[in-house]
Amino acid sequence: MGLDVRLPIGALFVILGVVLASFGVVSDKALYERSLGININLEWGLVMLGFGLIMLIFGRHRSIADIEGRTSARDRSAEEGEKTCPPGKQT
Amino acid sequence: MNLTLVDWIVMLVYFCFVLGIGFLLKRRVNTSTDFFLAGRAIPAWVCGLAFISANLGAQEVIGMAASGAKYGIATSHFYWIGAIPAMVFVGLFMMPFYYGSRARSVPEYLRLRFDEKTRGLNAISFATMTVFSSGISMYAMARLIQTLHIFDVPFQRMSLSPEWIFHVSIIFSAVIVLGYILLGGLSSAIYNEVLQFFLIVAGFLPLVWLGLKNVGGWHGITRQLPSGYTHSWSGMGSASTNRLGVEWFGLVMGLGFVLSFGYWCTDFLVIQRAMAADSMTAARRTPLIAAIPKMFFPFLVILPGLIAIALPTQTTISTGMGTSGSRYVATVGQGLIPAKIDGRTGLPILDNNGKPILDYDLAVPTMLLHYFPTGVLGLGITALLASFMSGMAGNVTAFNTVWTYDLYQSYIKPNATDAHYLVMGRLATVFGIALSVAAAYAAAHFNNIMDMLQLVFAFVNAPLFATFLLGMFWKRATGHGAFAGLLAGTGSAAFHHGLTIPTGATPGIKGAWLGTVLHVYPSEMAQNFWTAIWAWSMCFVVTLVISLLTRPREEKELVGLVYSLTERPSDEHLPWHKRPIGLGVAVLVLTVMLNLLFW
């Protein structure tokens, strides 16, 4: 399929990471009594942001490689035997 | 529960993505192959994550933590014995026939290998089962939303009656799942399952992290709890020395062989994800890639339950925001796990010894509320909702394929155009979800009917693996043999259940409904495992005998369907970690190590 699944995952994690981390920065310290004094919103938000960025970078990387390595249009026939991964149909 | 704006933003962002993926993939759905099989163009790692995510429904996230709190780390048998070996087997030995035969579904493989009636039997029982499973998932989700009071405040704001929360939850989940499957078909379901996989990990990992930190790590847990909780094998010699109440033979044969192989190797819900792969090697690698995160799942889903039971007991537990503001119910429980409360009296339900019965299913929800401040709490709730939906969507996509290809195209309207079947697939999605909603309401009203149905499904499923094993590895097996074997297996499962009972239970839904008790099992789990062993053995023997008495099929018709008549797929040119056999061995070695670590 043309859409690399890493792109939506990356985007979702970047957005959620930014939302949580920025909330962690502005939120009241008393909130984190239950999470053992750890500002879990800030820390986990940053982890999610980092993961999202990695996904985006790898996803972009492959999409570009696909454009360069694109050969012929995708063969829709599913009836033929063993076939290799068709290059993603770019939009 | 006090959800604030940031929690709602997290939830909203997630649901926008879920539907957005459907819209993005919509343009790519032109043929029925695109809709039902994702055009057979998905890379192996994506299929692999969808493979476990489709199975990572609510029953798993909530249920495994509940079992973790009840039985301890021995719950990991459901992964290390009850999933990984079967996943390796299906990848190495069975996928060549599923993918290589170009069958579009598991029932269709049965028609190619055996005959029409075997396919029909399997297709009808499978289709019914998926609808009810997705209904049960929906019902569980609506109940959880009610119990956690997630929607109470917005409902109050809009001055709607709280009685509507249940209905709105059902409709809401139905509409979301319907939306993204209708738009993008199986690829949309698969992409969303991968998204859900990462989200579930992101929502539960901080919970495990905080919990472990609080309780003092694994050593803290071993100090707090009796050793039965923290060893998976050391008491398995006899049913009386371990918390599961099963001895090792019943565990390994019943769970590890019959039930696990029956599910992971024959259930179209998961096999469909591998069939969508872009090549034979990718299809074979799908379950093997899936096995790697699967073997570490116990740390994600069982540990929260163990931590919940190991923490100091809470005497008062907040049940969250009622309609009249904050409401606290003094209750008894163990650790973070509250006792079951009688809805009418508001008092804890007691067992025969006067001890309160713990509501283990609340292990994960109370852990979330205990550790997560607003913000991450929204993430945790979203992860829970995601797990409910991935389970539901998996069932719906499997249902629409089996209905369209195996029932509609075979018995109702053969020889129509591909566009016609594509329309039918979309209609079947609507129809399947409508049936699931009906099933969810049936579950809400007739608890016993659902228990009974699940029991019947267990009888139908237990013998399946014998049929596939003989079909794929013994060319002499015939259609009459397979059909008779399946009926005999299901029948003997019912008989076995009707003649035995777990200790302490009353005859009825728990067993012994035939009037006589021939054997008393030490636990319900032991009874289930042995019912499965009976059903499998009976199906195996009957298929064998009837096959030998009936006329075999021509060998040339079975090429590509049976092991001895099919060319082995060659993958010698690939590096070891890309070869199915290399991956399979690595997975098994890791699993053995995990078992030894928690022996």
| Closest residue on chain A to B215 (Cα) | A36
Minimum-distance CB partner of A5 among B194, B282, B373? B194
Residue B332 has a pLDDT of 65
**What is the CATH number assigned to the segment(s) B5-445+575-597?**
1.20.1730.10
pLDDT at residue A13, rounded to an integer: 94
When CB atoms are compared, the residue of A23, A27, A44 closest to B206 is: A44
- Sign for the pseudo-dihedral over CA of B554, B558, B564, B568: positive
Alpha helices in B151-267 (DSSP H): 152-157, 164-215, 217-224, 248-250, 260-266
Smallest Cβ–Cβ distance between A36 and the set B41, B213, B374 belongs to B213
- State the virtual CA torsion across B302, B304, B306, B312 in degrees, nearest 10: -170
Q: Please tell me if residue A73 touches chain B, with a CB cutoff of 8 Å.
A: no
Q: Could you read off the pLDDT tens digit of each residue along chain B, which spans 599 residues?
A: 678 888 899 999 999 998 888 888 888 788 888 888 877 778 888 888 888 888 887 778 888 888 888 888 888 888 888 889 999 999 888 888 888 888 888 999 888 888 889 999 989 988 988 888 888 888 888 888 887 787 777 787 887 777 788 888 888 889 998 988 888 888 888 888 889 899 999 999 999 998 888 888 888 777 877 777 777 777 777 767 777 777 787 788 888 888 888 888 888 888 888 888 888 888 888 999 899 998 888 888 888 888 888 877 765 444 444 333 333 344 567 777 777 777 667 677 777 777 777 788 888 888 888 888 888 899 998 998 888 888 888 888 889 889 888 888 888 888 888 888 888 888 999 999 999 999 888 888 876 666 777 777 778 888 889 999 998 888 888 989 999 999 999 999 888 888 888 887 777 777 777 777 778 887 778 888 888 888 999 999 999 999 899 888 888 888 878 887 777 777 777 777 778 888 888 888 888 888 888 78
Which 8-state DSSP code applies to residue B352? T
- Determine whether the interchain pair A86/B194 forms a contact, defined as Cβ–Cβ distance below 8 Å: no
B597: Cα within 13 Å, side-chain hemisphere: 13
Distance from CA of A29 to the nearest CA of B (A): 11
What ranges in B303-355 are assigned the alpha helix state H? 303-310
B6 chain-A contacts, CB cut-off 8 A: 19-20, 23
Residue in chain A nearest B207 by alpha carbon: A35
CA triple B39-B47-B571, angle to 5 deg: 90
Question: Parallel, antiparallel, or unpaired for β B325-330 and B333-334?
Answer: unpaired
A27/B24 touch (CB, cutoff 8 Å), yes or no: no
CA neighbor of B110 nearest in space, from B533, B479, B534: B479
From CA B160, how far away is CA B154, in angstroms rounded?
Answer: 9
pLDDT of residue B485: 92
Q: What is the pTM of this model?
A: 0.85
To the nearest whole Å, the CA of A40 is away from the closest chain B CA by: 7
pLDDT of residue A48: 93
Contact status of A35 with chain B (Cβ, < 8 Å): yes
Query: ipTM score here?
Result: 0.84
From B450's Cα to the closest Cα of chain A, the distance in A is: 36
Two structure tokens written together for B85: 């070996």
- Does B6 sit within 8 Å of A23, measured CB to CB? yes
Task: For residue B372, list chain A residues with Cβ-Cβ distance below 8 A.
Answer: 34-35, 40
Using the 8-state DSSP alphabet, how is residue A27 labeled?
S
Q: Where are the domains of chain A?
A: 6-66
Domain locations along chain B: 5-445+575-597, 455-561
Find the DSSP H helices in B27-151: 32-37, 44-53, 58-71, 77-80, 84-89, 95-100, 106-113, 116-148
- Please check whether residue A68 touches B, CB under 8 A: no
Residues of chain A with pLDDT under 70: 1-2, 62-91
- Distance between CA atoms of residues B429 and B416, nearest Å: 19
